[in-house]
């Protein structure tokens, strides 16, 4: 066979495949390294976390307390004023708030002026002292049966003769909470809800979910409000709903 003429356009010069093979092989190696890194990164456990940890607890619904003649916005049908109350049943400040403002809030509810959303939370659980979460969970158990019973139970837990000392190791057990629930008007069945701790985990998570910095926390129509006196609270509500 005659030698190929390099000047002949019908016979282009041959090119070696070796450099192409080398480049492709290098790319395969690089891609493999990157994929392995991403796989390891995605499956590595976060320090201190359990790889099979359950999803976050769903935020608790409030216990809504409102009268049948509640004042509502004529366009939206929503209450003109919603007072949200975040309270820990062991918190001495919450007990003081109830003694100071409880009657005023009850009057505002019963007159149809506001809807009150109660959020029992637990910020004072410590070790084996779990009264905060147990009492908060018990309040939800009572509310499931009857809102009037919840209101009586709420007042009973904040009664100075009933509310335990925050620092005391002798705090009411679930049996005592059940007896108070019955005294407030809940049925015998409420004991099972209290004993099994149906709402306990959610009550523990509620404070962080709501972004609380302490209790009691009061919010009016979603905005933090620090009432100074019952009269000041009434005046604030009057600004919203009218006289």
Q: Is the pTM of this model over 0.85?
A: no
22-39 burial code (b ≥16 CB/10 A, e <16): eeeeeeeeeeeeeeeeee
**Mean pLDDT over residues 200-210, rounded?**
94
83 close to 124: Cβ distance less than 8 angstroms: no
pLDDT number for residue 144: 97
Q: Is the pLDDT of residue 54 over 80?
A: no
pLDDT at residue 52 greater than cutoff 50: no
Question: Does the pLDDT of residue 60 top 80, yes or no?
Answer: no
Q: How is the beta sheet containing 63-65 ordered, strand by strand?
A: 63-65, 115-120, 82-87, 217-220, 223-224
Whether the predicted pLDDT of 42 surpasses 90: no
Percentage of the chain surpassing pLDDT 70?
76
Q: What is the pLDDT of residue 59?
A: 58
Question: Which residue shows structure tokens 């608790």?
Answer: 60
Segment 96-111 shows an average pLDDT of 98
Lowest-confidence region among 35-49, 53-67, 181-195, 225-239: 35-49
Give the number of other CB atoms < 10 A from CB of residue 12: 9
Find the range with the poorest average confidence among 13-27, 93-107, 128-142, 146-160.
13-27
Nearest to 190 by CA among 140, 235, 230: 140
Helix (H/G/I), strand (E/B), else coil: 87? strand
Planar angle of CA 103, 215, 166, nearest 5 degrees: 95
């Amino acid at each position: 066979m005659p030698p190929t003429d390099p000047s002949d356009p019908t016979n282009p010069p041959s090119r070696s495949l070796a450099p192409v093979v080398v480049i492709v092989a290098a790319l395969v190696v690089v891609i493999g390294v990157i994929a392995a890194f991403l796989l390891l990164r995605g499956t590595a456990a976060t320090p201190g976390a359990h790889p099979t940890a359950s999803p976050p607890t769903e935020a608790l619904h409030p216990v809504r307390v409102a009268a049948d003649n509640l004042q509502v916005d004529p366009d939206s049908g929503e209450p003109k004023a919603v007072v949200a109350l975040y309270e820990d049943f062991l918190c001495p400040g919450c007990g003081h708030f109830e003694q100071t403002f409880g009657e005023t809030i009850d009057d505002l509810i019963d007159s149809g002026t506001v809807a009150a959303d109660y959020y029992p939370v637990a910020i004072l659980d410590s070790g084996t002292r779990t009264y905060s979460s147990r009492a908060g969970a018990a309040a939800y158990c009572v509310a499931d049966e009857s809102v009037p019973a919840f209101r009586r139970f709420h007042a009973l837990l904040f009664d100075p003769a009933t509310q335990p000392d925050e620092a005391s190791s002798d705090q009411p057990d679930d049996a005592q909470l059940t007896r108070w629930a019955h005294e407030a008007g809940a049925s015998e069945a409420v004991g099972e809800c209290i004993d099994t701790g149906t709402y306990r985990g959610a009550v523990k998570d509620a404070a962080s979910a709501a972004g609380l910095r302490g209790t009691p926390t009061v919010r009016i129509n979603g905005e933090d409000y620090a009432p100074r006196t019952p009269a000041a609270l009434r005046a604030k509500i009057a600004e919203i709903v009218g006289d």
